[in-house]
Chain A
Amino acid sequence: MNPKWEFKLRTCASRLHVLLRRQDQPDDDFNSEVQQHLQMLTERYVAQGLSKEEAAAAARRQFGNTTLLQEDRRDLQIFPLLEELWHDLRYSLRTLWKARGFAAVSIATLALGIGAATAIFSVIDNVLLAPFPYQGAARMVFPRIHAAQEAQDEGRQGYTSTEVLEFAENNHVFDGITAAKEDLVLYKHGEGTEQLYGAHVTPGTFEFFGLPALHGRLAQPHDYAPGAPPVFVLRYKTWKERFNGDLSVLNKTFVLNGTARTLIGIMPPRFGWYDAEIYIPESLTRAAGLAAGSPEWFLVGRLRPGLSRQQAEADLTLVANRLAKIYPQAYPAHFTVQLRKLGESVIGRFEDTLYTVLAAVGLLLLIACSNVANLMLARATTREKEFALRTALGASRARLVRLLMVESLVLAMAGAALGMFIAWGGVKSLVAGMPQDLIPAETVIALNAPVLMFTLGVAALTPLIFGLLPALQSSRRDLTDPLRDSAKGVGGGFQGRWLRDAVVVGEVALSLTLLIGAGLLMRSFVALRKANLGLRADHVFETAVVLPAERYKKPEQVTGFFRPLLARLKALPGVVDAAESSTLPPYSFDTSKLEIAGKSHQDDWQTLLQTVSEQYFRTLRVELKRGRTFSEEEVNDARKVAVVNQTFVRRYLPSETPLGRRVRLGSLESADPRHDSWFEIIGVAGDVTNNGLQAPVEPEVWIPYTTAGSEGRVLLVRTAQDPSTMMEAVRKEVWAADSGVGLAYPSTLEDRLSKVLYAGPRFGLVLMAIFGCIGLFLVTVGVYSVLAYSTAQKTHEIGIRMALGAEDGEVLRMVVRTGLRLVLAGMAIGVAMSLVLGQLIGAQLKDVTAYDPPTLAATIVLLTMTAAIACWIPARKAARVDPMVALRYE
Chain B
Amino acid sequence: MDTKKSEVLQGTLDLMILKTLHALGPLHGFGIARRIEQVSGDILQLNEGTVYTSLLRLQQQGCIAAEWGTSENNRKAKFYSLTRRGQKQLELETENWERISGVIGRVLRLEGER
Contacts and interface: CB of A to CB of B under 8 A. Distances in A.
Interface of A: 3, 7, 10-11, 14-15, 29-30, 33-34, 36-37, 40-41, 62-66, 68-69, 72-73, 76-77
Nearest to B73: A40
B52 A36 contact: no
Contacts of B61: 7, 10-11
Nearest to A8: B61
Given A36-B75, A37-B48, A73 B62 contact: no
B49 interface: yes
B18 interface: no
B48 A62 contact: yes
B56 A41 contact: no
Contact of B60 (A3, A30, A76): A76
B97 interface: no
Given A3-B92, A69-B52, 7 more contacts: A11-B61, A14-B59, A37-B48, A63-B48, A72-B50, A72-B53, A73-B56
A29 B66 CA distance: 11
5 contacts: A7-B61, A30-B56, A34-B49, A36-B30, A73-B56
A30 B52 contact: yes
B53 A76 contact: yes
Given A36-B30, A72-B53, A15 B60 contact: yes
B48 A77 contact: no
Contacts of B59: 14
A3 to B, nearest CB: 8
Contacts of B77: 33, 36
Contacts of B75: 36
Given A29-B78, A40-B30, A63-B47, A34 B60 contact: no
Nearest to A62: B48
Interface of B: 28-30, 33, 47-50, 52-53, 56-57, 59-62, 75, 77-78, 89, 92
10 nearest interchain CB pairs? A64-B47, A64-B49, A14-B60, A69-B49, A72-B53, A11-B60, A7-B61, A63-B48, A63-B49, A10-B62
A40 B76 CA distance: 12
Contacts of B28: 33
B48 A65 contact: no
Contacts of A73: 52-53, 56
A446 to B, nearest CB: 45
Contacts of B52: 30, 33-34, 37, 69, 73
A135 B75 CA distance: 66
Contacts of B29: 33, 37
A483 B48 CA distance: 49
A71 to B, nearest CB: 10
A24 to B, nearest CB: 16
Contacts of A63: 47-49
Contacts of A66: 49
A23 to B, nearest CB: 12
B48 A41 contact: yes
Contacts of A41: 30, 48
Contact of A33 (B50, B62, B78, B92): B78
A66 B50 CA distance: 9
Nearest to A60: B49
Contacts of A7: 61-62
Contacts of A37: 29-30, 33, 48, 52
Nearest to A59: B48
Nearest to A43: B73
Contacts of B33: 37
A66 B89 CA distance: 29
Given A7-B61, A36-B77, A76 B47 contact: no
B75 to A, nearest CB: 7
B60 to A, nearest CB: 4
Interface-central residue, B28, B47, B52, by most chain A CB under 10 Å: B52
Contacts of A77: 56
Contacts of B89: 3
B8 to A, nearest CB: 11
B57 A76 contact: yes
A65 B49 contact: yes
A744 B82 CA distance: 82
Given A37-B29, A40-B30, A69 B57 contact: no
A65 B78 CA distance: 21
A487 B24 CA distance: 71
Contacts of B50: 64, 69, 72
Nearest to A12: B60
A7 B92 CA distance: 14
A73 B77 CA distance: 19
Contact of A10 (B30, B47, B53, B60): B60
A29 B56 CA distance: 11
Contact of B48 (A3, A15, A64, A76): A64
B92 to A, nearest CB: 8
A3 B78 CA distance: 27
Contacts of A40: 30
A69 B62 CA distance: 21
A69 B49 CA distance: 7
A15 B50 CA distance: 19
Nearest to B75: A36
Given A10-B61, A37-B29, A76 B49 contact: no
Contact of B56 (A3, A10, A62, A76): A76
A77 to B, nearest CB: 7
Contacts of B62: 7, 10
Contacts of B48: 37, 41, 62-64
Contacts of A14: 59-60
Interface-central residue, A7, A34, A68, by most chain B CB under 10 Å: A7
Contacts of A10: 60-62
Contacts of A11: 57, 60-61
A768 B33 CA distance: 77
A76 B33 CA distance: 20
B26 to A, nearest CB: 15
A34 B52 CA distance: 8
A37 B77 CA distance: 10
A76 B30 CA distance: 21
A15 B53 CA distance: 14
B91 to A, nearest CB: 12
A3 B90 CA distance: 13
A864 B12 CA distance: 74
Contacts of A62: 47-48
Contacts of B57: 11, 76
A41 B37 CA distance: 13
A263 B59 CA distance: 66
A40 to B, nearest CB: 5
B53 A69 contact: yes
A135 B34 CA distance: 69
Contacts of A34: 49, 52
Contacts of B92: 3
Contacts of A29: 78
A76 B60 CA distance: 9
Interface-central residue, B33, B49, B50, B78, by most chain A CB under 10 Å: B49
A652 B89 CA distance: 102
B96 to A, nearest CB: 12
B83 to A, nearest CB: 11
Nearest to B89: A3
A76 B52 CA distance: 11
Contacts of A65: 47, 49
Interface-central residue, A3, A37, A68, by most chain B CB under 10 Å: A37
Contacts of A36: 30, 75, 77
Nearest to A11: B60
A10 B75 CA distance: 31
A176 to B, nearest CB: 52
Nearest to A76: B56
Contacts of A15: 60
A229 B34 CA distance: 91
Nearest to B56: A76
A63 B33 CA distance: 10
